[in-house]
Amino acid sequence: MILLQSHSRFLLQTLLNRLQNLEKGIELDHHWVEFDDVRYHVQVSTKNPHVLLLSVSLPPPSSETIFVNGLPFGAIDAIKAAYGATVQIKDPPRDGFNLTLKINLSKLPANQDQRQSFLVKIASVREVVLGAPLRVILKHLASRTVAPDIDPLVALVHRPRESFFLVPKADKVTVVYPMRFNDSIDTVLATSFLQEFVEARRTAGLHNTPPCSWSLTPPQELKEVSADALLANAGFVTFVIFPRHVEGPKLDRTVWNLSTFHAYVSYHVKMSDPSLHYAYLTVFRRIYAYTDAASSGILDSGFGSCQTRSRKENSNEQILQTAGPQKGVKKQFILIRWRRLLRKYRYSASSGEESAYMFLWTIQSANQGIVVACFSVCRLLQIMIVNLKI
């Protein structure tokens, strides 16, 4: 598992390059976008080469999230506490941005290590700004209090027009994420990933980590939230944060990990796609070798049912019939009732039936179609080869 870095690597490298070429007075004008639609703009003019303007655009908030002057609550105080007099906030910011910072490069610390640390902090402006309200709430949790004038349910933006929710109390903070994905394949993979993620919490040695749960329905904490904010096609993930999780240096790590949890899941879901494609390539090589064996009767089946042979028994397993033959290559989802396999891996649908969604890749070749079914489980991808005579 890979955790995202809190600082922007491109922004940090831009700052370092600027310091190395400070005396040359080169004009600078860079635009770029990072995950969750956070946009940056760095500008330096030849007239004032020691002053760098850094503008940041945050993801647009949902209706449940409250911004104060275009920023999350507590962001201004967090910026002043993090950067001091070296960084000034320009009011108003540049058009199209939520925040513009004026950085005086001549006021950076003279010590090399301190300068590097300060530049990393500037490159972490995303964490400072978006994590400001979460930091306020968790700081009070560390002292076992609740922040004054805080709502019983707090919505914080983390993706464009999407929020996660906090229920702050003196002894704990409950954090709930509605998990949404635009791609249907990502939704299935994310659901499997989250179920395994929650199960991993029960592993020996992880008993001190925050309790975690996953469900298809909204938890009780979100009963007052509008229905539009609860459109989650991959379920809901809930963490319970206790004071021990935010003590001392743990606070910064907890703020960043909670702020970017959805991006963390999305990253690993997207990274699983190449793994699946590699598995497909491996299976396709086997398919070509097994085609002759299948056509000669070693694997014998008809459309709508699959007959498999093992050393001990022959069994017929029902496959729900799909539409007629399609030309070319097609990816699709199909519900397969594969009772023996599902019992083996202890997987069952919430309806109580021993059913699961399988990912099928269908190839139509002459009068014979070959289906490769990949069982979408994070810790195991069981590859099955079925010959269907169309």
Q: Where are the domains of the chain?
A: 1-125, 131-259, 272-389
The DSSP bridge partners found for residue 370 are: 363, 387
Spell out the residues 6+ positions from residue 180 whose beta carbon is closer than 8 angstroms to its own.
162, 231, 232, 233, 234
Position of tokens 């007629």?
Answer: 324
User: Under CATH, what is the fold of the domain 131-259?
Assistant: Yope Regulator; Chain: A, (3.30.1460)
User: Under CATH, what is the fold of the domain 1-125?
Assistant: Yope Regulator; Chain: A, (3.30.1460)
Closest to 129 in 3D by CA, of 80, 65, 179: 80
Radius of gyration of the chain (CA): 26
- What per-residue confidence (pLDDT) applies to 374? 35
Two tokens at 77?
């105080």
Asked if the peptide bond before residue 92 counts as cis, ω within 30 degrees of 0, the response is yes
SS3 150: coil
Query: Do 131-259 and 1-125 fall under one CATH topology?
Result: yes
SS3 percent helix, strand, coil of the chain, rounded to 5, is 35, 30, 35
Closest to 386 in 3D by CA, of 339, 336, 342: 336
Query: For each of the chain's 390 residues, which pLDDT tens digit applies?
Result: 456 788 899 999 999 999 888 877 788 899 999 988 899 999 998 888 889 999 999 999 888 888 888 999 999 999 999 999 889 999 899 999 999 999 998 889 889 899 999 999 999 999 999 999 999 999 999 999 998 888 899 999 988 889 999 999 999 999 999 999 988 888 888 888 888 888 877 776 777 888 899 999 999 989 888 888 888 989 999 999 999 999 988 999 999 999 999 988 888 888 776 655 565 556 656 655 555 555 555 544 433 333 333 333 333 333 333 333 444 433 333 333 333 333 333 433 333 333 333 333 333 333 333 333 333 333 333 333 233 232
Spell out the residues 6+ positions from residue 100 whose beta carbon is closer than 8 angstroms to its own.
53, 54, 55, 56, 89, 90, 93, 94
Measuring CA to CA, how many Å separate 92 from each of 55, 66, 157, 242? 11, 19, 22, 38
